[in-house]
Amino acid sequence: MSLPPAIPQPYVPRAGGSALVLQKPRRRLDKRSQLRIWWREIDRVLLALILSLMAIGTMAVAVASPASARRLSTAAVKLDDLYFYWMHLRFQLVGLTVMLGVSMAPKEWARRGAILLCGAMLVGLMLVPLIGGEVNGARRWLNLGIKLQPSEFLKPGFAITMAWILAWRVRDPRLPVISIATGLVLLIAGLLMAQPDFGSAILYLGTWFVLVLLSGIDLRRIGLLAAAGSAALAATYLLYDNARHRIDAFLGGGTAFDQVDLARRTLMAGGWTGTGIGLGIRKYSLPEAHTDYIFSVIGEEFGLLVCGLIVLIYLAIVIRVLVRLVDEENLFTILSAAGLVSLIGGQAFINVLVNLQLFPSKGMTLPLVSYGGSSTIALCLTVGLMLALTRRNPYLSRDGFDWLAFLPGPETGRPARKISLRPKRTKT
């Protein structure tokens, strides 16, 4: 049977003999095939959890929008009751496009893009004190034709860059990766506290600590880091006015005019089942009802049962990512995915505690639920990177990750790593 003359077929010699065998050229996949591969490899359960959170956020912003719109309206400019709702839909559409597009990227592209993003946003963070715009006493935004908050877009780049740095010790355990990572996070924390943005600084430091723990650091060094962190927290309280005022207000107890106390009262006003959509009253006295305190609005109008459901969804997202990493053998993938989910889970944890009056006010949104421009798009970018890093070929199984292999050995000090891929099943 003759071959089609239009397609030249390369011939290569067969190993161990002089006979020639036909080698078919590699065919480039079309877009439909790429989409099928993406749908087969992506974690569909994680994607469903993320989309459910965004759907809840759409309903929550719709009921919180009238309170914020009336509060921010003036005699000259009157905002429509659903102003923030329609804006939120636009940001969500952009965010969904970013999330799905990034989730299709190969891991290598995701890593390189995140590192470049980290560098660019770090430069932007340095420019904020110089040319940034001030809102409510804080200078956190750059106005470059569009309003951009560098600290939000820095989060996914920071987690992946930190994972990339800590994974260097796989090649050479003698590299000072902990010192480099610590220097980077201290630089970012200092720039954030100058804005001031103490809440984001705490979130970055917490993510750094999680990644350092997962990287296989010696237990004695963990103790030293914990002691240094306690000393830094005490120094922050003594020397940093913004943190001291927030902590003192929290420890002194809320008053009827304190926004954290108002948030707690609003949260509890709806009982277990809520007052009903659009029937909440306390939300109109709540500042930032559509952003920082949207969890309290959900509690008033939808009830504490829905609030509990939201908390369970966040827990399910964190657990799903960690379970997905159990069989992963690449240290960079483990650290980067764990760092990304730590950012989302940590931010949600802080926001919920603030609304429950169990944590000082931080000015931090509820991820994927609160209204936001930069925050919504940046969080969708974070989720897209997380989906890209947790993609798996369902026809391959992996050996479990050997954590002990990355601990310093007594003989050489170099880790011994064993990686293998076993075919799980074949597709005929």
- Three-state SS string over 214-277 comes to HCCCCHHHHHHHHHHHHHHHHHHHHHCHHHHHHHHHHHCCCCCCCHHHHHHHHHHHCCCCCCCC
Q: What is the pLDDT of residue 252?
A: 57
pLDDT at position 11: 47
φ and ψ at residue 135, rounded to 5 degrees: -135, 125
Could you tell me which of 163, 220, 125 has the C-alpha nearest to residue 342? 163
C-alpha to C-alpha distance for 14 and 191, rounded to whole angstroms: 61
- Which residue stretches of the chain have pLDDT < 70? 1-29, 133-138, 145, 218-222, 225, 229, 232-233, 235-258, 393-428
CA–CA distance, 350 with 344 (Å, rounded to integer): 10
First CA to last CA distance, the chain: 24
C-alpha radius of gyration, the chain, whole number? 25
- Return the residue matching tokens 């940590």: 346
pLDDT number for residue 41: 84
pLDDT tens-digit readout, 247-259: 666 555 554 446 7
Residue 416 pLDDT: 44
Q: Hey, which residues does 279 pair with through a beta bridge?
A: none
CA distance 408 to 112: 28
Residue pLDDT, tens place only, 162-188: 999 998 887 777 888 888 888 899 899
Q: How far apart are CA 295 and CA 273, in angstroms?
A: 14
Taking the C-alpha atoms of residue 332 and residue 253, their distance in angstroms, rounded to an integer, is 43
C-alpha–C-alpha distance, residues 269 and 303, integer Å = 9
pLDDT at 257: 47
User: Which residues does residue 421 pair with via DSSP β-bridges, in sequence order?
Assistant: 398
Q: Is 378 in contact with 153 (CB distance < 8 Å)?
A: yes
pLDDT at 144: 72
Helix/strand/coil for 39:
helix
Per-residue model confidence (pLDDT) at position 246:
63
Determine the pLDDT at residue 236.
65
pLDDT in the model for residue 264 = 81
CA-to-CA separations, 99 to 51, 112, 310, 346, in angstroms, rounded: 11, 17, 21, 20
- Phi/psi of residue 57, each to 5°? -60, -35
